[in-house]
Amino acid sequence: MARLEFWFEYASSYSYPATFAVGEACRAAGVELVWKPFILGPIFAAQGWNTSPFNLYPAKGKYMVRDLERICEKAGLPFRLDPDMNWPQFSIAAARIGLIGAREGWVEDFSKRLYALEFGDNLDISKEETLRQALDGVADADRVLAESRKRETKDALRAQVGDAVAAGIFGAPTYRVGDEIFWGGDRLDDALAWAITNTL
Amino acid sequence: MARLEFWFEYASSYSYPATFAVGEACRAAGVELVWKPFILGPIFAAQGWNTSPFNLYPAKGKYMVRDLERICEKAGLPFRLDPDMNWPQFSIAAARIGLIGAREGWVEDFSKRLYALEFGDNLDISKEETLRQALDGVADADRVLAESRKRETKDALRAQVGDAVAAGIFGAPTYRVGDEIFWGGDRLDDALAWAITNTL
């Protein structure tokens, strides 16, 4: 069966609409979807960035906000960035939970809920309260939070970032099919076509 | 009539397949196309870059090359980057000629020919010989080259870059419809849809 990896970051605004699109698109195309939550912080730091390109390059940052407004409007998703908050948010706690969700099969529900809280309601996703809200009805929050703080989970996220770097991934969202990577939410169709053509 | 500006840079590899696509797409959609050759050097320099993001960020650069191979293969265009040459190329002389071509109506033919020489044959587009080859059968090379070196043409290119900055443009290719910009060759359909929807 054709197989597509979806590499996404909870702090990444472009990962938000992509997360809402990828599951249905893969199911419709009959392509197996592997959720790969990771964090970009260490990857950006290695190339000399101490924050997101949104902040580093003002013209690009201004464009990205407008572009996301258009993309989200088209997808029927709310989008706002409270100017009194710091963007991007700290996503490491969320990524550790996402890893557990990917292993246990509830990552899609959790991720959609968390992104909606982040970019729809502008809640702080580094707070336990927000993470619990996203887990509500999805998984046992007490158990998952405890597990997310274990050494094994932290190591697993570190390993996931290492895998991203080894795969040549430098931004999010990124679709990966075999050794081919496709960067940017708008490349989903290309990635799916590649998955289907190269699996037959 | 709906109207779309196409901002492109002769040194930009992503501008190459976009240049081969934009004319036909606009004619098919009944959208007026305004060619806007410019240079990114001063814009990159203002954000602290002394070369292209291809070179600054190796993982991104490696991805871009592979991505362009796929895009060009799909479009039936040759693509290679001779490893013994310096990329990106110096494009200021080409941009000045492109400006004249945009004014006189032969910019599309000239640009396609020049990009083919650059990314198909890996000729040096800063050389008069290559520029003459791209002008051959398109315009009077002696007259155009002389005009491209005049003070007025240099000023016009400087003004064009100023217009790009004022419009919030930070990369190429960029499509512009009214005040909306769409960055990246793969956003042509979005830009055309915007042009059509917002002109009716």
> Tokens for B62?
């490696």
Q: Are A91 and A126 in contact (CB under 8 A)?
A: yes
Q: B70 contacts in A (CB within 8 Å)?
A: 180, 190
Q: Give me the pLDDT at residue B85, please.
A: 94
Mark residue B105 as left, alpha or beta (left: phi above 0; alpha: psi -120 to 50; beta: remaining). Answer: left
Q: Are B196 and B29 in contact (CB under 8 A)?
A: yes
Q: Among all chains, which residue has been given the structure tokens 């990114």?
A: B40
- Strands lying side by side in the sheet with B3-8: B32-37, B3-8, B174-177, B180-183
Query: What are A166-190's pLDDT values in tens digits?
Result: 999 999 999 999 999 999 999 999 9
User: Mind giving me the DSSP string for B71-133?
Assistant: HHHHHT------TTS-SSPP-HHHHHHHHHHHHHT-HHHHHHHHHIIIIIS---TTSHHHHHH
- How far apart (Å, rounded) are the C-alpha atoms in residues A161 and A44? 11
pLDDT at A48 over 90: no
pLDDT at A53 over 80: no
- How far apart (Å, rounded) are the C-alpha atoms in residues B31 and B154? 29
Query: What are B89-127's pLDDT values in tens digits?
Result: 999 999 999 999 999 999 999 999 999 999 999 999 999
Interchain contact, B57 vs A47, CB within 8 Å: yes
Mutate to test the interface with A, among B49, B55, B60 (most CBs of A within 10 A): B60
Q: A182 contacts in B (CB within 8 Å)?
A: 67
- Parallel, antiparallel, or unpaired: how do β-strands B3-8 and A174-177 relate? unpaired
Residues of chain A with pLDDT > 90, as a percent, come to: 90
Q: Are B133 and B123 in contact (CB under 8 A)?
A: yes
Nearest chain A Cα distance for residue B134, angstroms: 32
Interchain contact, A170 vs B57, CB within 8 Å: yes
Average pLDDT over residues B22-48: 94
> Tokens for A94?
């969320």
User: Which residue of chain A is at minimal alpha-carbon distance from B167?
Assistant: A59
Give me the total of CB pairs closer than 8 Å, taking one residue from chain A and one from chain B. 48
Task: Please enumerate residues of B whose Cβ is less than 8 A from a Cβ of A.
Answer: 47, 56-57, 59-60, 62-63, 66-67, 70, 165, 168-171, 180-184, 186-187, 190
Q: Burial, A198: exposed, middle or buried (Cβ in 10 Å; 0-12, 13-18, 19+)?
A: exposed
Mutate to test the interface with B, among A55, A70, A74 (most CBs of B within 10 A): A70
Residues of chain B with pLDDT > 70, as a percent, come to: 100
Query: What are A79-98's pLDDT values in tens digits?
Result: 999 999 999 999 999 999 99
Q: B62 contacts in A (CB within 8 Å)?
A: 168
Q: Give me the pLDDT at residue A200, please.
A: 62
Q: Residues near A140 by Cβ (< 8 Å), separated by ≥ 6?
A: none
Nearest to B63 among A60, A168, A186 (CB): A168
Q: Is B8 helix (H, G, I), strand (E, B) or coil?
A: strand
Q: What is the DSSP letter of B173?
A: S
- How far apart (Å, rounded) are the C-alpha atoms in residues B86 and B96? 21
Mutate to test the interface with A, among B50, B66, B175 (most CBs of A within 10 A): B66
- How far apart (Å, rounded) are the C-alpha atoms in residues B60 and A169? 8
Q: Give me the pLDDT at residue A55, please.
A: 79
Euclidean distance between the first and the last CA atom of chain B, given in angstroms as a whole number: 8
Nearest chain A Cα distance for residue B47, angstroms: 7
User: Mind giving me the DSSP string for chain A?
Assistant: --EEEEEE-TT-TTHHHHHHHHHHHHHHHT-EEEEEE--SHHHHHHTT-SS-HHHHSHHHHHHHHHHHHHHHHHHT------TTS-SSPP-HHHHHHHHHHHHHT-HHHHHHHHHIIIIIS---TTSHHHHHHHHTTTS-HHHHHHHHTSHHHHHHHHHHHHHHHHTT--SSSEEEETTEEEESGGGHHHHHHHHHHTT-
Nearest chain B Cα distance for residue A170, angstroms: 6
Q: What is the DSSP letter of B186?
A: G
Q: What is the DSSP letter of B1?
A: -
pLDDT at B37 over 80: yes
Q: What is the DSSP letter of B171?
A: S
Interchain contact, A62 vs B168, CB within 8 Å: yes
Nearest chain A Cα distance for residue B135, angstroms: 34
- Complete domains list, chain A, with CATH: 3-197 (3.40.30.10)
Q: Go through chain A and tell me how many residues it has.
A: 200
C-alpha triplet B52, B56, B57: angle, nearest 5°: 115
pLDDT at B200 over 70: no
Interchain contact, B47 vs A62, CB within 8 Å: no
User: Which residue of chain A is at minimal alpha-carbon distance from B45?
Assistant: A57
Q: Is B185 helix (H, G, I), strand (E, B) or coil?
A: helix
Residues of chain A with pLDDT > 70, as a percent, come to: 100
Nearest chain B Cα distance for residue A106, angstroms: 31
Q: Which of A45, A48, A36 is nearest to A9 (CA)?
A: A36
Nearest to B170 among A59, A165, A182 (CB): A59
Q: B171 contacts in A (CB within 8 Å)?
A: 60
